[in-house]
Amino acid sequence: MFWYVIRRLVFAAFLVFAVSSASLIVARLAPGDYAVGAMGLNATPEAMRELRARLGLDRPIAEQYVDWLSRAVRFDFGRSLANGRPVIELIAESAANTAILAATALFLATLIGLPLGVFSGSKPRGVVPAAVRTASLFLLSMPPLLTSLFLVFFAARTGWFPIAGMSSIGGGFLDLLQHMVVPVGALTLPLIAMFERLQSQATSEVIDQPFVIATLARGVPRTRVLWRDALKAALRPIASVYGLVVGTLLSGSFAVEVITAWPGLGRLMLDALRARDVYLVAGCAAAASVFLAAGTLFSDLALVLVDPRASE
C-alpha cells in the first residue's frame, strides 16, 4: 500500500512536470508573441525589440526554458507578461474558483445521484424508477456546454438567478450562493445522471448475488440489506470512475466558466492563450494537471479502500 502510493505520487509529479514544460514550449513556439499582440499593428520594430528584451522573450527557447525550470522547482513560476503579477498568485485565485465549482458539483452529484441509483437499480419495475432512468438518459445527453447554455437562457428569461460572474459588487456569501446556482447546476446535472446510471447498474447486479439473498433469507430487512450490504459492494464502479470524473469536471467547467463568465482556471488559460502570455499558460496547464493527478490519486486510493484487490 505504501509503495503503491509512492509510485502514484512519482507518476503525478512527472505528469505535472511534463504538462507544464510542454505547454510552455508549445506556447512559445506558437506564431506571434506577446509583444505583437500587446503593442498592436503600428508599433515600431525598435519598441517591439525593447519590450521583448525587457520581458526576456528574445532569448533562445532552450535558455528561456532552463531558466523557467530552475525557478519553477523553487515554486517561482514567473510573472504574467500582461499585468506583471506573479503567476502563482493569479492561478491560486482562479484555481480556487474552479475548485469551488467542481467540488460543489461533485458533492451534490454524489449526494443526489448515488441514492437515486440505488433506488432505481433495486426496482426493475415501476413508474418512478422508469421516470428516473428516462430523466437520467435525458440529462446524460446534455454535456455541461449545453446545460449551461440552457440554464443561462432559463435564468435570463425568468430573472430568478444572476447569470454571469461570481459576485455582485458588495455582495456577501448569500450573493455568492446565488451566483453559483447556474454554473454549479450546469456542471452537476449531467454528473447526477452519470452517477445514477452507474450506481443503478452496479446495484442491480449486486442484489442478485448469493450473499444478498442469503442475508435476506436470514430475515434481515430488505431496506437494511440494500442500503448497507449491497451498497457497500456496489460502490466499486463509482469509486473507480471518480478520478476520470475530475477530468470531465475540468473540461466541463471550462465550458461553464466561459459561458457564465465564472473567473476560473479555464477562463484564465483561455485569456492567457489569446494574449500569448507564455508563463501564465504553462502555469494554468500545470495547475490543471495537478487537479487531475490529485483526482486520479484520490480515486485510486478510494478504490483500494473499497476493493483491496485493486492495488495489485
Give me the residues that bind other proteins (CB under 8 A), please.
11, 15, 18-19, 22-23, 26-27, 29-32, 137-138, 140-143, 145-146, 149-150, 152-153, 156-157, 163-164, 194, 197-198, 201-202, 237, 240-241, 243-245, 247-248, 250-251, 254-255, 258-259, 266, 269-270, 273-274, 281, 284-285, 288-289, 291-293, 296
Cα separation, 197 vs 195, in Å, equals 5
10 burial (CB, 10 Å; 0-12 / 13-18 / 19+) is: exposed
In the block, residue with C-alpha cell 495537478: 290
| Residue with smaller CB distance to other proteins, 107 or 153 | 153
Task: Report in angstroms how near the CB of residue 180 gets to other proteins at its nearest.
Answer: 17
Kindly give the residue spans of alpha helices, DSSP state H, lying in 56-126.
61-72, 87-122
Sign of the alpha-carbon dihedral angle for 90, 91, 92, 96: positive
CB of 228 to other proteins, least distance (A): 22
Whose Cβ is closer to other proteins: residue 29's or residue 62's? Answer: 29
Smallest distance, Å, CB 245 to other proteins? Answer: 7
Whichever of 167 and 240 has its CB closer to other proteins, that residue is 240
Whichever of 29 and 127 has its CB closer to other proteins, that residue is: 29
The residue with cell 448469493 is 210
Which three cell numbers, joined as nine digits, stand for 207?
Answer: 442484489
Cβ of residue 291: shortest distance to other proteins, in angstroms?
Answer: 7
Supply 103's cell numbers.
467540488
> How far apart are the C-alpha atoms of 46 and 57, rounded to whole Å?
14
* In the complex, minimum distance from the CB of residue 217 to other proteins, in angstroms, rounded to a whole number: 28
